[in-house]
Amino acid sequence: MLDLHVHDAHFIRLVFGMPQEVTTTGRLRDGLPEFWHTQFRFADPNLIVEATSGTIDQSAFDAIKGAGYTDEQLVEISLAIATTTFTNIFNRINDTDVDFPAVK
């Protein structure tokens, strides 16, 4: 996971340039990285970029499966979350117009 976060930081530097300040907080469980959150601050005070990574520990998966969810359903849930996240980011980047009527 830490390796993936390093790749995020490299990509952010390539896209936005060298930050003036980088702050990272994280959490370890049994000596292994469980969660990292990094904030990159740049010369432009309106530009703040964040990278977050984390894992779901085995006990959480066991609890979900204990509630009756299958591995296939866990994959489908993960894909739904990933698709929603991608769509939201894509729409924010492109300032997508909402083209359906407002809910009344």
Asked whether residue 42 is assigned to any structural domain, the reply reads: yes
**Count of the separate structural domains present in the chain:** 2
Indicate left, alpha or beta for 30 from its phi (over 0: left) and psi (-120 to 50: alpha): left
Per residue in 61-102, pLDDT (tens digit) is 889 999 999 999 999 988 998 898 888 888 888 888 877 777
Per residue in 15-27, pLDDT (tens digit) is 899 999 999 888 8
- 48 and 18 within one domain: yes
- The model's pTM: 0.54
- 67 and 45 within one domain: no
- 62 and 12 within one domain: no
The residue segments making up the domain with residue 61 are 57-95
- 40 and 66 within one domain: no
- 5 and 36 within one domain: yes
